[in-house]
Structure 1
Amino acid sequence: MRSDYWDQPAFETIRPRRLVAPVVFNSAHSGRVYPERFLAMTRLDHLSIRQSEDAWVDELFARAPHLGAPMLRAHFPRAYLDVNREPWELDPTMFVEPLSDRFNTTSPRVAAGLGTLARVVAENKPIYRERLTLDDARMRIEGIYHPYHAALQGLLSEAMSAFGVALLIDCHSMPRIARSGDRLGPDIVLGDRYGTTCAPMLVDLVETIFTSAGLRVARNRPYAGGFATRTYGRPQHGVHALQIEISRHLYMNEATLNKNENFDAVRLLIERLIFAMIGLDVMTLVGNPAPAQKAAE
C-alpha cells in the first residue's frame, strides 16, 4: 500500500547550526497535515477530527533549533497515528481481519479508543466510517512510526556521543483541567513516571520556571508520561526524559483551535525554558541520577 505521505514528509528533524547542548525536543502530537485519503475515511468534520491535536505546540517550542537544540516534529496528526504508544497497540474492533496475539489489544489505552491507531478523538467521537485493513496499519506503523522513533533515538544517541548525557523534552498540550472543590486545576503537568525517568534537579528547574511565571504546576497527575518518556528515560544510562503538558487554554481557544491573545507570552515563557535547558551544567545532570524506584502506572 502506498504511503499517505508519499508526496510530502510525514515528520521532520529540525537541527541547529551547531549543537550546543544534549537536549532533544520532541513534538509528536502537533501534526496538522491531514491526508486526503484519511479525511475520506473519517465521519468527522475538519474541526472535530483536529480535537486530539496538541495544536501549535511545535510553534511554542520552535526556537529550540535556533538556540542550539534539535527538534523532532510530526506533520501527521495524532488522530492518524500516535507514536506515543507501543508500535502495535491496536483495537481489534477497528479491523476487518482478526488480530493475532502479537498485537497488544488489551491495554487501557486501547480500551479507551486511543491506541496506536486511535478509534476516537476527544469527547469519544468515533473517527472512521468503516473498519480498516491491517495493510493500513502496517503502512502507518512500518512506514512512519518506526522511522519516527529511529529518528528520535538517533538524536538522543548524537547527544550522548557529544556530551555523555541526553535529555528528552517531550512536548504536549492538554485540555483544561477543571477545578477540584476550591482548588484550580494545574496549568502545567510534568511527567517523569513518578521520579524514575529524569533527574529530580531537572524537574525542579522546570517547575520553578513555570511557577515563577505564576502558573500552577502538578507532577505526574493526571499525566505521568507516555510511551516516549517511559521508553527513553533511563537516567542510570545517562538518558533523561521529561514530559511537559501545557494547558491549551493558556494560549488558544480550545473550541476553535485558534491562537489567543496570550500565545506570544506563552511562547516567550517556553523560550525562557529552552534557554534554561540549554544552559544546564551537563556534569551536574550526570551527577543527579533519578532514584531507581518502579514507576506507578
Structure 2
Amino acid sequence: MAGSGHDRLWWMDGFALSSAVEDFAVVPPFEIRAGCEQRVPFVFNSPHSGRHYPDRFLAMTKLDRNAIRRSEDCFVDELFGGAVALGAPMLVANFPRAYLDVNREPWELDPRMFCQPVPPYCNIRSARVAGGLGTVPRVVGEGLDIYAGRLQLGEALDRIETVYKPYHETLKRLLTETHSAFGFAVLVDCHSMPAGVRVGDSGVRPDFIVGDRFGTSASAALTRATTGLLSAMGYTVAHNKPYAGGFITEHYGRPARHLHALQIEVNRGLYMDERTLTKSSGFDALADDMTRLAADLMALPDHNFLDLPMAAE
C-alpha cells in the first residue's frame, strides 16, 4: 500500500501546473494514511475534514477564518484514525469542503455562481445545487455565501480536474486493490453532523446516523451489525434519515459485486464545541469507541459482507 508521500508525487506529476496545484504546493490536497501492510478488507474515507485553507482561496471569500469552517467535519479523520493501526488504509482530504466537495457528482455546478456559462453536461438542477452545496459550494453550512461575487468558470473546472478527479481515482484504486486482495471490500465514509439534527416526528437527536442508500449500498447484515454495535455502546442510532449517504456511498456501494459502502455521521455535540470549533472533553472517549467499532466490524464473519442488499424502502 502506497503511503501519502508517493501519492503526493503522483498527483503533482499527473497534471499541469494550475492555480489549484499552487493552492496545495506545500500541503498535498489529500493523503493516504496506512501502515506497511493492509491486513483487512476495509477502506476508511474522510472527505470533509480538510482544514488547509489556501491563502488564495481565503482572499476570494467574504467570510472570516472561523465562518468559512462551518461546513467542515472537524476532526473526523482523527476520530476514525485508529482504524489505520488495525490495518486499514484511510483516505483523508486536506482541502476543505468549502473549497471543493468530493461527495458530489463531478459536475454539480450552480450556473449563478460563474461569469461564464457552465458546460452543458453539468447537473445544474440537483437539490444539492439548489441548496448551494454543489461540487464547488456557494454557501457554508449555515447558509452563508462564500463569495462576494461571481467566479470565473475556470476556477471551478480547475479544482475539479486537478483535485476532485485525482481524489476519486485514488479512492477507486484503494477499493479495487482491496477487493482484489480479499475478495470483497468495505468502504466506511466518515462524516459529522450538527448537534441539533433531529429525526422524524419524535424529534430524537441521534448520536449516529448510519446510511446505506436505503439498502442499496451495503449488505443488510453489515448495516445491522454497525447499528447494533453502536447501540450496544449506549449510543442512539438512526438509519438513513435524514442522511442516507451521498455521492460516494451511492457511487461505490455495489453489494452484489461484494463492494459495500456505509456512511457514518457522528453528532458533533459528542466531541466538540461547535461555536469555537475545538475538541471537547468527550473527544478521546469517542475516538476510543470508534476504534473499537472498527475492530468489531473487522472481526465480523465473511457472510456479513456476502449476502444480498436489503430491498429499498
Q: Which amino acid aligns with 1:102?
A: Y
Give the equivalent residue in structure 2 for 1:59: 78
Number of residue equivalences = 293
Correspondences of 1:81-230 after superposition (within 5 Å): 81-176=100-195, 177-178=197-198, 183-230=203-250
Query: Per-residue displacement from partner, 1:86-122 (whole Å, max 9, x unpaired)?
Result: 0010001110101232111110000000000000012
State the distance in 1 between where 2:281 and 2:154 align.
44
Give the equivalent residue in structure 1 for 2:309: 290
Report deviation, 1:233: 0.2
State the distance in 2 between where 1:185 and 1:21 align.
33
User: Scaled by the length of structure 2, what TM-score is found?
Assistant: 0.90
Correspondences of 1:16-35 after superposition (within 5 Å): 16-35=35-54
Give the equivalent residue in structure 1 for 2:270: 250
Would the aligned equivalents of 1:69 and 1:278 in 2 still touch at CA under 8 Å? no
Report deviation, 1:239: 0.2
Cα 1:34–1:159 shift into 2, 3 Å: same
User: Scaled by the length of structure 1, what TM-score is found?
Assistant: 0.95
Report deviation, 1:148: 0.3
State the distance in 2 between where 1:116 and 1:173 align.
18
State the distance in 2 between where 1:26 and 1:179 align.
25
Q: Which has the higher contact order (CA 8 A, sep 6+)?
A: 1
Report deviation, 1:251: 0.4
Secondary structure of 2:142's match? helix
Q: Which amino acid aligns with 1:197?
A: S
Long gaps (5+) in structure 2: 1-17
Give the equivalent residue in structure 2 for 1:42: 61
State the distance in 1 between where 2:239 and 2:191 align.
14
Cα 1:156–1:279 shift into 2, 3 Å: same
State the distance in 2 between where 1:217 and 1:266 align.
14
Deviates more, 1:75-84 or 1:15-24: 15-24
> What is the RMSD of the two structures over their aligned residues, measured on CA atoms?
1.4
Report deviation, 1:277: 2.2
State the distance in 2 between where 1:171 and 1:182 align.
25
Long gaps (5+) in structure 1: none
Would the aligned equivalents of 1:68 and 1:278 in 2 still touch at CA under 8 Å? no
Identity level (%)? 50
Would the aligned equivalents of 2:72 and 2:96 in 1 still touch at CA under 8 Å? yes
Give the equivalent residue in structure 1 for 2:15: none
Cα 1:260–1:164 shift into 2, 3 Å: same
State the distance in 1 between where 2:148 and 2:238 align.
38
Give the equivalent residue in structure 2 for 1:236: 256
State the distance in 2 between where 1:231 and 1:262 align.
33
State the distance in 1 between where 2:135 and 2:283 align.
30
Cα 1:179–1:286 shift into 2, 3 Å: closer
State the distance in 2 between where 1:98 and 1:169 align.
36
Would the aligned equivalents of 1:27 and 1:58 in 2 still touch at CA under 8 Å? yes
Would the aligned equivalents of 1:252 and 1:259 in 2 still touch at CA under 8 Å? yes
Would the aligned equivalents of 1:23 and 1:168 in 2 still touch at CA under 8 Å? yes
